[in-house]
């Protein structure tokens, strides 16, 4: 029997008259029915959030909020396999990835921000004025208020918790929406919150679509105070326009057209393996994936041959098969988008090194949303396939001659999220990395994250940074308090 996925509003699970099907991308089967929030239900959630800020949740100390986050983390741990299955059913990703990355990272997100808010400190300065009077200036952090958190489908619980955890840690009330493609793990987290008695209204989950649906109603609501969004750049631009008149705070992590640069002095095998990982992880459906690979000419032909061999060895399979490397696209619509770039690449003159088609399995997977991992060469830098984000298991490999050329071509993009550099030359690593016009630079690795470090992009890849103290800065308002503690010394005669 298909699962019914509800909203969670003000501490209660709520149904909607309108519902839509949740599909398994592996074979296209229906795995659940999802409620679609109306504007009325969005308003209920916002009003519940406002009430929570005036009630028990608003009176919680930082330590008490941290305790609640620890309880959420423990609740995820207790239902670990249920979260794994929710991620796998919604996305088609491997069980291995869900168990080793997605769910553990969600647990870590709640615990990290619980610890961070416990350790957060204020600034304090003693001020001596020109007349000799003295004052203390210190800062206090206060919640923004009602925070709308909209997360994407590619890493559902990981990115959902990356927003919800710091927002709650700083005392905000959250009105959240997962992608319509991946509603299950957010619903499961709502169940965890309900079971532990999380303060009603502090954490609300709405299901539904973006434009002309729940998402639009959320960002348009006059009583929200901030929006955090991960997704397409065009959607981020639309949100900015919508909230501009109210001057709402925004934090965006948007698209990417990331470059990997492989210098001739790199550890060749490590670089090949690294580019395979940075291109095809999660079937290329990660904003940090490398879609543009630049290889120094002296090793270019050898590198393309090795990358082709490693790519063709990747196994397209079912999520529970330990041998599986590559899963399906998230949806029929997204599969069609990626396939459209296969045709466009041919029109633009690409050489298809491998892939470029839809695999045929001869079983129920043929009803799913698969594409074959693909490598192109031969495109000019101004080709649409090298300017637009495909967000699938594809990359283009091109040769370069000089370091300066590699830097210029890597930076020649409307996006600026991540760059991966492969070199054994430490001086080159330190010289090239600061010149990258991207929010993150990895050297001889990819996707290695420390939750204390800033995360975010430049240009069409986003606005703002989150992670560590950077999350504290976005999810709170800082007020300076100045208290006079001593008058100016008397100048009278004694």
Count of helices and strands (H, E) across the chain: 16, 21
Average pLDDT of the chain to the nearest whole number: 95
Burial of 12-40, coded b for 16+ CB within 10 Å and e otherwise, reads ebbebeebbebbbbbbbeebbebbbbbee
Percent of residues, the chain, with pLDDT higher than 90: 93
pLDDT 10s digits, 339-369 = 999 999 999 999 999 999 999 999 999 999 9
Mean pLDDT on 127-152: 94
Mean pLDDT on 169-195: 98
* pLDDT number for residue 2: 62
347 and 462 inside one domain: no
- Residue 439 CA to residue 176 CA, distance in Å, equals 25
373 and 286 inside one domain: yes
246 and 288 inside one domain: no
- Residue 124 CA to residue 27 CA, distance in Å, equals 59
244 and 153 inside one domain: yes
Mean pLDDT on 97-104: 97
List, as one string, the DSSP characters of 336-395: HHHHHHHHHHHHTT-EEEE--S----SSGGGGS-----EEEE---TTSHHHHS---SSEE
Label residue 410 by pLDDT band (50, 70, 90): very high
Q: Is residue 333 part of a domain?
A: yes
Q: Is residue 300 part of a domain?
A: yes
237 and 330 inside one domain: no
Percent of residues, the chain, with pLDDT higher than 70: 99
65 and 205 inside one domain: yes
* pLDDT number for residue 317: 96
CATH code, domain carrying 96: 3.40.605.10
Q: Which residues pair with 455 in a beta bridge?
A: 466
- Residue 42 CA to residue 36 CA, distance in Å, equals 10
Q: Is residue 19 part of a domain?
A: yes
Q: For strand 258-262 and strand 290-296, is the pairing parallel, antiparallel, or unpaired?
A: parallel
Kindly tell me if the per-residue pLDDT of 419 is higher than 90.
yes
* pLDDT number for residue 1: 42
Mean pLDDT on 95-100: 96
Q: For strand 249-253 and strand 462-463, is the pairing parallel, antiparallel, or unpaired?
A: antiparallel
Q: Is residue 491 part of a domain?
A: no
Q: Is residue 494 part of a domain?
A: no
38 and 171 inside one domain: yes
Label residue 75 by pLDDT band (50, 70, 90): very high
Contacts (Cβ under 8 Å, ≥6 apart) of 412: 381
Kindly tell me if the per-residue pLDDT of 494 is higher than 60.
no
Q: Is residue 312 part of a domain?
A: yes
Kindly tell me if the per-residue pLDDT of 485 is higher than 80.
yes
Q: Is residue 362 part of a domain?
A: yes
Nearest to 416 by CA among 259, 263, 199, 215: 259
- Residues serving a catalytic function are 253, 287
The DSSP output letter for 268 is: H
Question: 16 lies in which domain range?
Answer: 3-254+457-480
Nearest to 425 by CA among 404, 402, 444: 444
Element (DSSP H or E) covering residue 190: helix 184-195
470 and 387 inside one domain: no
CATH code, domain carrying 361: 3.40.309.10
Give me the number of domains the chain comprises: 2
232 and 144 inside one domain: yes
* pLDDT number for residue 385: 98
Predicted model pTM: 0.94
- Residue 73 CA to residue 198 CA, distance in Å, equals 12
Q: Is residue 493 part of a domain?
A: no
* pLDDT number for residue 333: 97
240 and 334 inside one domain: no
187 and 293 inside one domain: no
Label residue 491 by pLDDT band (50, 70, 90): low
426 and 461 inside one domain: no
């Amino acid at each position: 029997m298909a699962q019914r996925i509800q909203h969670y509003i003000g501490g209660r699970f709520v149904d909607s008259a309108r519902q839509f099907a949740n599909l398994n991308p592996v074979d296209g089967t229906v795995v659940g029915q999802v409620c679609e929030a109306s504007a009325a239900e969005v308003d209920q959630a916002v009003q519940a959030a406002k009430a929570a800020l005036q009630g028990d949740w608003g009176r919680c100390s930082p330590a008490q909020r941290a305790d609640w986050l620890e309880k959420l983390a423990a609740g995820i741990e207790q239902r670990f396999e249920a979260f794994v299955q929710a991620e796998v059913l919604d996305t088609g990703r491997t069980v291995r990835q869900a168990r080793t990355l997605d769910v553990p990272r969600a647990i870590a997100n709640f615990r990290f921000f619980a610890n961070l808010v416990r350790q957060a400190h204020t600034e304090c300065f003693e001020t001596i004025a020109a007349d000799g009077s003295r004052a203390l200036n210190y800062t206090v952090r206060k919640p923004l208020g009602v925070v709308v958190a909209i997360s994407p489908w590619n890493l559902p619980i990981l990115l959902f918790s990356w927003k919800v955890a710091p927002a709650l840690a700083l005392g905000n009330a959250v009105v959240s929406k997962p992608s319509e493609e991946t509603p299950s793990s957010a619903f499961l987290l709502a169940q965890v919150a309900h079971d532990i008695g999380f303060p009603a209204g502090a954490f609300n989950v709405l299901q539904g679509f973006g434009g002309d649906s729940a998402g639009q109603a959320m960002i348009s609501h006059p009583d929200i105070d901030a929006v955090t969004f991960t997704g397409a750049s065009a959607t981020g631009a639309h949100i900015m326009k919508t909230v501009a008149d109210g001057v709402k705070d925004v934090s965006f992590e948007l698209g990417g057209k990331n470059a990997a640069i492989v210098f001739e002095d790199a550890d060749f095998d490590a670089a090949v393996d690294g580019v395979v990982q940075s291109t095809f992880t999660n079937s290329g459906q990660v904003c940090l994936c490398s879609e543009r690979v630049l290889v120094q000419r002296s090793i270019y032909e050898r590198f393309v041959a090795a990358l082709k061999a490693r790519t063709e060895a990747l196994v397209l399979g079912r999520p529970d098969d330990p041998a599986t490397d590559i899963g399906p696209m998230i949806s029929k619509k997204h599969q069609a988008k990626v396939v459209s770039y296969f045709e466009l690449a041919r029109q633009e003159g690409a050489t298809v090194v491998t892939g470029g088609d839809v695999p045929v399995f001869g079983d129920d997977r043929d009803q799913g949303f698969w594409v074959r991992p693909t490598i192109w060469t031969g495109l000019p830098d101004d080709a649409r396939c090298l300017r637009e984000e495909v967000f699938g298991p594809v990359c283009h490999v091109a040769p370069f001659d000089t370091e300066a050329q590699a830097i210029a071509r890597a930076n020649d993009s409307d996006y600026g999220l991540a760059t991966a550099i492969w070199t054994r030359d430490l001086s080159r690593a330190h010289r090239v990395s600061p010149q990258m016009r991207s929010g993150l630079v990895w050297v001889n690795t990819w996707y290695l994250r420390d939750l204390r470090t800033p995360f975010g992009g430049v240009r069409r890849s986003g606005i703002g940074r989150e992670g560590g103290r950077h999350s504290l800065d976005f999810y709170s308002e800082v007020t300076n308090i100045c208290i006079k503690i001593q008058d100016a010394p008397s100048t009278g005669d004694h």
